[in-house]
A and B are shown apart, each in its own frame.
Chain A
């Protein structure tokens, strides 16, 4: 089945540690996105990528990094510089960035907590 797969489902980070969240899609979508959702809050855009080897900062990129070496994969690293990493992280993809009539499709998320 086509879809977006995020792993792990739950992740715990120790003080000063970098952790990487995986996002893989087999939908042949060009654009991929990372969002963060805090309890009772809306989704906030961390990073997005329109095409392989290119990505742009979203609204809250500080303390995060990404790479887009393959069309199917868009991993997110939460660095030690991110002081409040506890949140629900959602990866999404769409056919292409700026394809205004195309919605985004989401993976089932990763919950990150601090140990």
Chain B
């Protein structure tokens, strides 16, 4: 059974701090990985793809560890506007090809 597991949080973090959270996946055949951001009562929006070599986009860094089957998201110098739910998405290995985690709720406090 495909599973993507995330710590639901909430993670309460002071503004300016660095925060990181992981997502584990059970299907070793998984091919592609993404982080989405979902604001309250809104649709998920693509934050970044996660490449094997890791990738960085401004204050955000994503890493993939295939051996241990997890991906991570690091946010540096956190802003109040970073408060949201972060969804881990894993594709590949199945007919529908896409599995969403339930999300990690992040709250940045002033």
B98→A45 contact, CB < 8 A: yes
**Minimal beta-carbon separation of A83 from chain B (angstroms):** 23
Q: Does A8 sit within 8 A of B, measured CB to CB?
A: no
Known A-B contacts A42-B87, A100-B97; A106 and B45 likewise in contact (beta carbons under 8 Å)? yes
* B91 and A100 contacting across the interface, CB-CB below 8 Å: yes
Contact residues on B (Cβ < 8 Å of other chain), bracket: 20 to 34
Q: Which residues of the other chain, B, contact A104 by a CB distance below 8 angstroms?
A: 89, 98
Which of B91, B98, B102 touches A41 (beta carbons < 8 Å)? B102
User: Which residues of B sit under 8 angstroms from A109, Cβ to Cβ?
Assistant: 42-43
Distance in angstroms from B3 CB to nearest chain A CB is 11
A14–B34 alpha-carbon span in the complex (Å):
38
CB within 8 Å for A100 and B31 given contacts A43-B44, A108-B43: yes
Interface residue count for A (Cβ, 8 Å)? 25
| A7 at the B interface (CB under 8 A) | no
Interface string of A87-106 (1 = CB under 8 A from B): 01010000001101111111
Indicate if B67 sits at the interface (CB-CB under 8 A): no
Tell which of A42, A97, A101, A106 touches B101, judged by Cβ atoms closer than 8 Å: A42
Q: Mark A29-70, 1 if CB is under 8 A from B, else 0.
A: 000010100001111010010000000101000000000000
Residues of B within 8 A of A (CB): 8, 31-32, 34, 41-46, 49, 87, 89, 91-92, 95-98, 100-103
Residue pairs across A and B with Cβ atoms less than 8 A apart, 9 shown, are A40-B8, A42-B100, A56-B95, A90-B44, A100-B32, A106-B45, A107-B43, A109-B42, A111-B41
